[in-house]
Structures are given as C-alpha cells and as structure tokens.
Amino acid sequence: AQSVTQLGSHVSVSEGALVLLRCNYSSSVPPYLFWYVQYPNQGLQLLLKYTTGATLVKGINGFEAEFKKSETSFHLTKPSAHMSDAAEYFCAVSPGNNDYKLSFGAGTTVTVRA
C-alpha cells in the first residue's frame, strides 16, 4: 500500500524567495512519485515525476524535486518564487509496474507575498 504525507498545509513565501514543499511517502515497492499543481478552479497539472534513473528531476515552471530513498522523501523546490506560483500543490505516489493508481497527499497551499 502507498501513502503520502505533505508537511505543512499552507506555506507563505515572499516573491523571489525559495519555495520548499515537503513530501514523504510510504510504499511497499519502489515508488513512482509525482508533483501536481492545481490553480484555482482548474484541474491537476503535472509538474514533474520520478520513476527511475536520476534522482533529481526537473519540471515545468522552474520546479525540481529530489528522490531520497533513505529518507523516503520527494521534496519540491523552486529557487525563486513568482506570484504566479500561488496554487495548491499535491504530492502523489503510485506503485508502478502497470499499477498507476495514484495516492495523493493532502496538498499544500502556497501563497506568494509581494
């Protein structure tokens, strides 16, 4: 079984500051890991994913995440926040191996202060 814990339901950052969103997972098999973003009144948009290979993955809009197996983490970062980054961010895990059902974290709402 897979589960995801996102630490911090709400993060507030200043424009230009580092964005760090924390995600820890639990999985009985090597996981596939995802970050999705949800802008107000919109659907879920894929930011980035880790399946195999390089543990530091880069996504859209300047975001990146690092898979750390020893820490069971997949934290999302962006060096410099922009006002347009205000949204809700979801970490998700799937077992892979032809089982792609996603288990989501509770989400982290990001607000960006001018």
Partner 1 sequence: EPEVTQTPSHQVTQMGQEVILRCVPISNHLYFYWYRQILGQKVEFLVSFYNNEISEKSEIFDDQFSVERPDGSNFTLKIRSTKLEDSAMYFCASIQTDTQYFGPGTRLTVL
Residue 61 touches partner 1, criterion: CB under 8 A? no
β-pairing, 87-94 vs 108-113, is antiparallel
- Binding of residue 45 to partner 1 (CB under 8 A): yes
SS (H, E, C) the chain: CCEEEEECCEEEEECCCCEEEEEEEECCCCCEEEEEEECCCCCEEEEEEECCCCCEEECHHHCEEEEEHHHCEEEEEECCCCHHHCEEEEEEEECECCECCCEECCCEEEEEEC
The reply to whether 42 sits near partner 1 by the rule CB under 8 A is: yes
Judged by CB under 8 A, the residue of 26, 51, 55, 111 near partner 1 is 51
In one-letter notation, the amino acid at residue 32 is: Y
Q: Which is nearer to partner 1, 19 or 32 (CB)?
A: 32
Q: Is 96 in the site for partner 1 (CB under 8 A)?
A: yes
Distance in Å, CB of 32 to partner 1, minimum: 6
Per rule CB under 8 A, is residue 46 in the interface with partner 1?
yes
**Residue from the set 15, 106, 111, 113 that interacts with partner 1 by CB under 8 A:** 106
Residues forming contacts to partner 1 in the complex (CB under 8 A) are 32, 34, 36, 42-46, 49, 51, 90, 92, 94, 96, 100-107
